[in-house]
C-alpha cells in the first residue's frame, strides 16, 4: 500500500480531492507520478516537447500497484507534496476541465445558476 498514506498530501480544488504520489520522492521528475481522483488513477506523462498529459491507468489502488509492478515489482509509491504536488494537481485540473467542471465533483450547486436565471425572468 502507499507509504504514509494517512499523512498524504491532498489538495482541494472546487470541492474535489486530488492526491499525488510518485516512485522517486527525491527527484519526482525522474520517477513516475500518479494522480488519484474520484475518477481513478492517472499517470502524469511528459512529452518530448515538454507538454504534460494524464493517462487513466487504474480504478483502484490495488489496480495501480498491479500496473506499476509489471515494470518494477519492488517500487514503492510515496506521497508527493509541497510545491511539486501542488504543481501536478494544478496541471491535472488544467488538463481535465471535464473533471473540475463536473457537478458530481464540484462543491458548487449546479442548479444555483439556473435558479438565478429563472428568478430573473420572473421579475
* Residue 79: Cβ within 10 Å count: 20
* Three-class DSSP labels, 27-57: CHHHCCEEEEECCEEEEEEECCCCCEEEEEE
Instruction: Give 80-122 pLDDT, tens digit per residue.
Output: 999 999 999 999 988 876 554 444 444 333 344 444 444 444 4
The model carries a pTM of 0.68
Q: How far apart are CA 101 and CA 122, in angstroms?
A: 28
Domain count, the chain: 1
**Collapsing DSSP states into helix, strand and coil, what is residue 78?**
strand
Amino acid at each position: 500500500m502507499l507509504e504514509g498514506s494517512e499523512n498524504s498530501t491532498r489538495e482541494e480544488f472546487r470541492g474535489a480531492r486530488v492526491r499525488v504520489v510518485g516512485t522517486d520522492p527525491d527527484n519526482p521528475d525522474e520517477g513516475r507520478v500518479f494522480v488519484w481522483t474520484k475518477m481513478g488513477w492517472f499517470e502524469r506523462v511528459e512529452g518530448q516537447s515538454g507538454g504534460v498529459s494524464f493517462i487513466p491507468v487504474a480504478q483502484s489502488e490495488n489496480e495501480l500497484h498491479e500496473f506499476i509492478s509489471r515494470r518494477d515489482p519492488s517500487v514503492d509509491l510515496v506521497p508527493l507534496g509541497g510545491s511539486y504536488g501542488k504543481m501536478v494537481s494544478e496541471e491535472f485540473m488544467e488538463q481535465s476541465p471535464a473533471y473540475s467542471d463536473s457537478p458530481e465533483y464540484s462543491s458548487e450547486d449546479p442548479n444555483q445558476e439556473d435558479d438565478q436565471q429563472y428568478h430573473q425572468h420572473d421579475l
